Amino acid sequence: MSQFPDTARASEYGAGSRDYFKFEKGDNRLRVLALAQDPVATHFISKGERAVCIGVSRGCKYHGENAPKGDDGKPKKPSVKYPAYVVDRKTNDIRLVYLPYSVVTALGDLKKDADWSFEELPMPYDVTVKYDPDASGTDMYKVVPSPKSAPITSEIRASLETMKSIDEVADAQRDKAAAETEHAGEIDLGDESEPYHGQLG
Ligand SMILES: [Zn+2]
């Protein structure tokens, strides 16, 4: 059991309302077991080059004037995703996935809905994330709750307990990026010096 994250805290990582994640086109049926309290954000520095955001308060340099710019000269929003453990209903296996910010806010809306409210995670029902890569903005992902959800098996619950907590997974990514940032600041790496190339997933 754990708490649903406070998505207002995502602003710390530069979250906007349009963050995309490549789900399979069509229906993706999931049961959300655990969600990280804070998202993992990725700055797009240039083509093929990304950096994991360590948060504004920890000194992430890719904000404000230093935010990476797109071809149009405008600052590019980071991709903000919540690490999550889910049951993939196709296989009934636990998967680590990075849920787009828009999907997590939709789950938050369900949490507040009179008919679908829930207190803690795992969620008490499945959701189908309908992914349409041809749609734009918030229409790209639609979250549909399922009233006919199979229970979470005792095997799933048992294996979830043996796994590293989802917050540890998220913290480890930020700590790794922070350590490499500090390292780069202290030591002159000369021509070997390269920006951090953190990859999610
Ligand atoms: Zn950042």
Q: What pLDDT is recorded for position 192?
A: 42
| Region of poorest pLDDT, from 11-20, 63-72, 134-143, 178-187 | 11-20
The rounded Å distance from CA 53 to ligand 1 centre is: 4
User: What is the average pLDDT across 91-99?
Assistant: 87
The rounded Å distance from CA 4 to ligand 1 centre is: 23
The rounded Å distance from CA 72 to ligand 1 centre is: 20
Q: How many Cβ atoms from other residues are within 10 Å of residue 134's Cβ? A: 7
Helix or strand (DSSP H, E) at 8: none
User: What is the average pLDDT across 164-181?
Assistant: 87
The rounded Å distance from CA 18 to ligand 1 centre is: 16
Closest CA to 5 of 30, 38, 27, 28: 38
The rounded Å distance from CA 22 to ligand 1 centre is: 22
User: What is the average pLDDT across 57-77?
Assistant: 87
Q: What pLDDT is recorded for position 3?
A: 82
Gyration radius from the chain CA atoms: 18
The rounded Å distance from CA 61 to ligand 1 centre is: 6
Q: What pLDDT is recorded for position 187?
A: 42
The rounded Å distance from CA 55 to ligand 1 centre is: 5
- What residues pair up with 142 in beta bridges, in sequence order? 130
Q: What pLDDT is recorded for position 182?
A: 67
pTM of the predicted model as reported, rounded to 2 decimal places: 0.76
User: What is the average pLDDT across 121-145?
Assistant: 91
Cβ neighbours of residue 26 closer than 8 Å, sequence gap 6 or more: 130, 131
Q: Give tens-digit pLDDT for 34-57.
A: 999 999 999 988 877 888 998 888
Assign 83 to helix, strand or coil: strand
The rounded Å distance from CA 26 to ligand 1 centre is: 31
The rounded Å distance from CA 54 to ligand 1 centre is: 6
Greater confidence (90 vs 33) lies with 33
Residue 17 above 50 pLDDT? no
Q: What percent of the chain has pLDDT over 70?
A: 83
Q: How confident is the model at residue 4 (pLDDT cuts 50, 70, 90)?
A: confident
Question: Rounded CA gap, 167 and 173, in Å?
Answer: 10
Q: Give tens-digit pLDDT for 149-164.
A: 888 999 999 989 998 8
